[in-house]
Amino acid sequence: MATKKMNKKTESVAVPSVTCAEMQQGIIDRLHKGLATDKNKANNKAWWNATCLAVNELVFEKLTKTHHNHAGKDTRAVNYLSLEFLMGRLLSNNLQNLQVFKVTEEALKGLGKDLYELCDEEPDMALGNGGLGRLAACFIDSLATLGYPAIGYGIHYEHGLFKQEFQDGRQIERPDTWREYGNPWEICRPESIQLIPLYGYVETLYDPTEGAKKIWHAGQKLKGVPWDIPIVGYGAKTVNILRLWESRASEAFDWDVFNAGGYVDSQAEKSRAETVSKVLYPNDSTDAGKELRLIQQYFFCACSVKDILRRFKRANSDWNELPKKVAIQLNDTHPTMAIPELMRILIDLEGLDWDFAWDICQKTFAYTNHTLLPEALEKWSVGLFEKVLPRHLEIIYEINAQFLKNVVEKKWPGDDQKKAKLSIIEESDNRMVRMANLCVITAYKVNGVAAVHSELVKTDLFPEFHELFPTKLVNVTNGVTPRRWLKTCNPGLATLLDETIGDDWVLNLDKLKGILPKATDSKFQQRFMDIKKQNKVEMAKIIKETTGVEVSVDAIFDVQIKRLHEYKRQQLNLIHILTLYKRLLENPDYDMVPRVFLFGAKAAPGYHMAKEIIFALNKIADKVNNDTRIKDKLKVVFLPNYRVSLAEKMFPAADISEQISTAGLEASGTGNMKFSLNGALTVGTMDGANIEMAEEIGEQHMFIFGLSVDEVKDLKTKGYKPYDYYYNNPELKSVLDWLDSDFFTPGHPGLLSDIKRSLLEWGDEYLCLADYASYLEAHQKIDALYRDQAAWAEKAILNAGAMGKFNSDRSIEDYASKIWKLKKFPIA
C-alpha cells in the first residue's frame, strides 16, 4: 500500500495515510495473495487476518525506518525485561495509533464488513496475570509514542493466562490458545536465535598469570527463538518492538533413535525443551516455586542479555560504553537472573575482571518493586540453583560476600543480625536465594509504583538498604495509556472530548483539565451521561449474552474487576451485597437506587480462598437474580474469563469503581485510573494510587472510606479482634451467619462457611470487619448522590478531567528523566 504524509490537520505527525480505496485494495489483496481466499469465501476470521496483514504493511515500513534511525545514531536504549506483557488485542489499537481507524472502518463497510465485529475475532494476547503485565503493555505503548528507543523483552508463551469457565459457580481453568492458528502480528527472527546452557558443572582452571578461570560445562542447551511484535506509537513516528523468546530443543529430534523405531522417544528432548515457554505461570503476586519457573526466568534473561550485548557490540568495542548505551529495567524480581548472567558473560566469556564487570552491572540495571506482600518476594532454594545454574550461584555468593564485607560490615561493624537480614542468602534449613536483595544491591535505582508504596518500600520493606543507599530508592507512579483506555475503548467519550477541548489530549492528557469548567454545564453533563448510558446499554447486552441475566441501565453499575485476592477484598464487597439483600428481604420497600454489582476476576488455580469467594459470589448471584421479592433492585453478575478485551467494555460502562484494598497492600492499582478516566466514581481506601488520585480529584469527589495505612498498622500492633465487630454489629453478625446456612446452596449448608471462618476464626487478616461500617456509609452516600443526576454528572466530569497525571506517558517521562537518562529519537 502506498503511504504519504498526513493530511492538514495533523501535519506535524508523519502518519502513513491511506485512502479508503487503497485500504480496500490492501485488504482484498491480502485475502487473495496472503491467505489464498477471496471475499466471497472468506469468513470473519480471514477478514480480520487480512485486515491485520494490510495494517502490517503500514507498520513494517515505519519499523524499518525506526530501526535504521536508532542503529544509525547508536542511541542509548532502554531494555524493559518483563516476564509478562498483557497486550490484549492489537488491531483496533494499531489502527488508532496509525490514525487510520475511521478510514478502515469505512473501507470495510464498503466491502460489507463491520470493523468492530472483525476486531472481536482477535484472540487476546494474554501473556500476563494482571496489573504488572498490563503496566508493561502500557509502558511500551508510551515509549513508542514518545519516540524513545526501547525494546520490550518477554516470553513467547504458547499458552497465556488460562481461560476461566464456571461450572456450578466454581472456577474451571482451560488452556488459552491465543496462537493456535498463527498470529498475524509477529515476525520470527531466526537470524537472532540464542543458545542457552543449563545444568552441568563448573570447572576451575588455574592460570599462573591470570588466576582462576571458570568454565561452565552445561548439561543441556536450549534454543531461544525470537518473535518480534511491532509496537506502534501514536502518530506512528516510532515503531519499536516487543521481542518474545520461544524455547526449542537445540536439535529437532534424535534422528538415530527415530530410525531405530523410537518414534516417541526421539521427541523427548524436543518436548522437554518446549515446556520452558509453554505456559505463563498463573500466579498473581505469589511465587510458583518450581524448577521450571526458575529455568523459564533464566532462559528469558539469558536470551535477552545476549541479544542486548549482540546489538551493543555491533556499534561498540569499549565495555565502558555499555552503561552509557544500555539501560536494563527489571520489571519486578522475575528477571533478576539477568544480573548474574551479565556478570558471567563479562567475566567468563569476555575476560573482564570482577570489579570492572561489577561496576558495569551496577550502572546498567534498575529494578521496579511492585509489592510489599512477603509471599510475593521471590526466593529460590540454593540446592535448586546449584543444580540448574551452578556458575550463577558462585557469582551470587561472590556478590554477596563482597557486599557483606565492603558495605554492611563497614556501616555496622560486627552486627551479624544486619548481615543476616541483608544477605542475599537466607540462612535456614533450606537455604534460599533472595532475589529482591540481589536486585537492590545491584541496581542503581529501585522504584516503587505509587508515592505511598515507595515510602513503604523505604520504611518497611528495605529500611536498612535505604540507610546504606539513601538516593537509590525512588518513586514512579504508575499510569495507563489513554490510547487504549480512552480513545479506543470509549469512542463516544473520546469524540465528546475532541469536540470540547481539541484532539491533542491523546498525547497530552493534562489537557483533560479543559473539561473541568464544563462540570456544571447542564448540556455537557447531559452529553456525558448519555455516553455513559449508551456504554451501559452495550454492557447490558454482553451481560445478557454471556450470563442470561437482564439488567437495567438505570441501575448503578457498581464494578470490581481485578485479580481475585483477599487483600483486594472482593469479600468485603460480598458482605455489602448480602447486607443490602437482607435489608430488602426484611423490608421490600427498602428505599435504594437499583444496583447491578459486576465482577470480573481470575483466581490463581491453587488459591483456595480466592476460589471460594468466586463460588460464593456466583451462588449469591443465582439467588439474588432470581428472587422476585426484591423487584430487580439488586443484581449480581460475575462475568467469566475477565481479560483485557472485556475490560475495555467494562470500564466505560461503570458508574462505581471498587478500589477497596486494605490500606498499605495495593502497591498502586491501575484499574482505579482507567475507571476514573472513563467517568466512574471511586469508592476506595487511602491506598496505592488512590491517594494520589484523591489529591488530583479532591477527596470530596470520591467515596473514601476505611482505615488509613497508619491506622491499619496501629490496629495490628494493638491486636485486631474481628469478633468484637461481629458481636457489636447485629447486621454484620446476621449477614455472616447467613453464610453458614444453606440459603445460597440449598441442601448443602456450610458450603460458604470458609468465608465466614476466614473473617472470624482465621483472624480476618485483611481487616474487612474493621472497615465494614465505614464501607456501608460510603455506599449510602453513593446511593444518595445518584438520585441527583446533575450532581453525579458533575463529579464524574471532575473525576475524568483530573486524570492527566495518571497517564503512562507521564510515568515513562519520569523513568526517562529520573532513572534511564534517555533521549528521544523519533523519526522525522
Give the three-class secondary structure for 294. Answer: helix
State the binding string over 676-715 for ligand CR6 (x if CB under 6 A, else -): ------------x---------------------------
Query: Among residues 202 and 373, whose Cβ is nearest to ligand CR6?
Result: 373
Smallest distance, ligand CR6 to C-beta of residue 248, A? 29
Chosen residue from 151, 236, 449, 614 binding ligand CR6 by CB under 6 A: 449
How many CB atoms within 10 Å of residue 280? 24
Cell of 688: 496505592
Contact 790, 522 (CB under 8 A): yes
132 binds ligand CR6 (CB under 6 A): yes
Neighbour-count burial of 250, counting CB atoms closer than 10 A to its CB (0-12 exposed, 13-18 middle, 19+ buried): middle
**CA 227/CA 249 separation, integer angstroms:** 16
Give the three-class secondary structure for 412. Answer: coil
Smallest distance, ligand CR6 to C-beta of residue 214, A? 34
Q: Which of 70, 76, 370, 595 is catalytic?
A: 370
Chosen residue from 141, 176, 307, 332 binding ligand CR6 by CB under 6 A: 332
Q: Which of 379, 643, 674, 756 is catalytic?
A: 674
Q: Which residues contact 573 (CB under 8 A, 6 or more apart)?
A: 560, 597, 599, 658, 660
- Judge whether 568 counts as a catalytic residue: yes
Q: Which residue has the cell 513503604?
A: 456
Cell of 546: 454471556
- Judge whether 563 counts as a catalytic residue: yes
Total residues in contact with ligand CR6, by rule CB under 6 A = 18
Residues 721-780 that bind ligand CR6 (CB under 6 A): none
Phi, psi of 447 (to 5 degrees): -125, 145
Chosen residue from 70, 370, 418, 536 binding ligand CR6 by CB under 6 A: 370
**CA 501/CA 507 separation, integer angstroms:** 13
Nearest to 197 by CA among 347, 301, 275, 281: 301
Query: Among residues 347 and 457, whose Cβ is nearest to ligand CR6?
Result: 457
1 binds ligand CR6 (CB under 6 A): no
670 binds ligand CR6 (CB under 6 A): yes
AA letter at 433: V
Query: Among residues 454 and 525, whose Cβ is nearest to ligand CR6?
Result: 454
Nearest to 62 by CA among 11, 101, 13: 13
Smallest distance, ligand CR6 to C-beta of residue 130, A? 5
Measure Cα distances from 792 to 520, 526, 559, 784, 819 in Å.
Answer: 10, 11, 17, 10, 40
Query: Among residues 23 and 242, whose Cβ is nearest to ligand CR6?
Result: 242
Query: Which region among 129-137, 154-162, 421-429, 771-779 touches ligand CR6 (by CB under 6 A)?
Result: 129-137
Phi, psi of 47 (to 5 degrees): -65, -40
Query: Among residues 49 and 371, whose Cβ is nearest to ligand CR6?
Result: 371
Contact 796, 677 (CB under 8 A): no
Q: Which residue is nearest to ligand CR6 (CB)?
A: 131
Query: Among residues 93 and 371, whose Cβ is nearest to ligand CR6?
Result: 371
- Judge whether 76 counts as a catalytic residue: no
Smallest distance, ligand CR6 to C-beta of residue 369, A? 8
Chosen residue from 66, 283, 668, 808 binding ligand CR6 by CB under 6 A: 668
Cell of 541: 447486552
Secondary structure element (H or E) that encloses residue 600, with its range: strand 595-600
Smallest distance, ligand CR6 to C-beta of residue 299, A? 21
Q: Which of 562, 576, 583, 810 is catalytic?
A: 562
Smallest distance, ligand CR6 to C-beta of residue 357, A? 29
Query: Which region among 185-193, 504-512, 666-674, 769-777 touches ligand CR6 (by CB under 6 A)?
Result: 666-674
335 binds ligand CR6 (CB under 6 A): no
Contact 300, 153 (CB under 8 A): yes
Query: Which region among 32-40, 368-376, 459-467, 520-528 touches ligand CR6 (by CB under 6 A)?
Result: 368-376
Smallest distance, ligand CR6 to C-beta of residue 332, A? 5
**CA 8/CA 19 separation, integer angstroms:** 14
**CA 67/CA 250 separation, integer angstroms:** 29
669 binds ligand CR6 (CB under 6 A): yes
Query: Which region among 104-112, 200-208, 354-362, 660-668 touches ligand CR6 (by CB under 6 A)?
Result: 660-668
Query: Among residues 311 and 370, whose Cβ is nearest to ligand CR6?
Result: 370
Q: Which residues contact 412 (CB under 8 A, 6 or more apart)?
A: 418, 419
437 binds ligand CR6 (CB under 6 A): no
667 binds ligand CR6 (CB under 6 A): yes
Query: Among residues 620 and 712, whose Cβ is nearest to ligand CR6?
Result: 712
Chain centroid offset of residue 71 CA: 30
Query: Among residues 82 and 92, whose Cβ is nearest to ligand CR6?
Result: 82
Q: Which of 670, 682, 685, 745 is catalytic?
A: 670
Cell of 615: 463460588
Strands 194-198 and 220-232: antiparallel
Give the CA-trace dihedral at 580, 583, 585, 588, to 10 degrees: -110
**CA 249/CA 198 separation, integer angstroms:** 12
Nearest to 632 by CA among 572, 579, 746, 556: 556
Query: Among residues 132 and 556, whose Cβ is nearest to ligand CR6?
Result: 132
Residues facing residue 326 across a β-bridge: 77
Smallest distance, ligand CR6 to C-beta of residue 677, A? 15
Question: What letter would DSSP give residue 450?
Answer: S
Query: Among residues 224 and 479, whose Cβ is nearest to ligand CR6?
Result: 479
Smallest distance, ligand CR6 to C-beta of residue 456, A? 12
Residues 41-70 that bind ligand CR6 (CB under 6 A): none
Q: Which residue stretches of 260-290 are H helix?
A: 268-275
Query: Among residues 151 and 673, whose Cβ is nearest to ligand CR6?
Result: 673
Q: Is 218 left (phi over 0), alpha (psi -120 to 50) or beta?
A: beta
Question: What letter would DSSP give residue 680?
Answer: P
Chosen residue from 400, 478, 490, 570 binding ligand CR6 by CB under 6 A: 478
AA letter at 638: F
**CA 451/CA 116 separation, integer angstroms:** 39
Smallest distance, ligand CR6 to C-beta of residue 570, A? 14
Nearest to 323 by CA among 673, 822, 824, 828: 822
State the binding string over 279-318 for ligand CR6 (x if CB under 6 A, else -): -----xx---------------------------------
- Judge whether 370 counts as a catalytic residue: yes
Query: Which region among 162-170, 547-555, 665-673, 712-720 touches ligand CR6 (by CB under 6 A)?
Result: 665-673
Smallest distance, ligand CR6 to C-beta of residue 564, A? 11
Query: Among residues 56 and 661, whose Cβ is nearest to ligand CR6?
Result: 661
Q: Which residues contact 723 (CB under 8 A, 6 or more apart)?
A: 760
137 binds ligand CR6 (CB under 6 A): no
135 binds ligand CR6 (CB under 6 A): yes
Q: Which residue has the cell 509453554?
A: 278
* Binding residues for ligand CR6 (CB under 6 A): 130-132, 135, 284-285, 332, 370-371, 376, 449, 478, 666-670, 688
Catalytically active residues are: 370, 562-563, 568, 670, 674
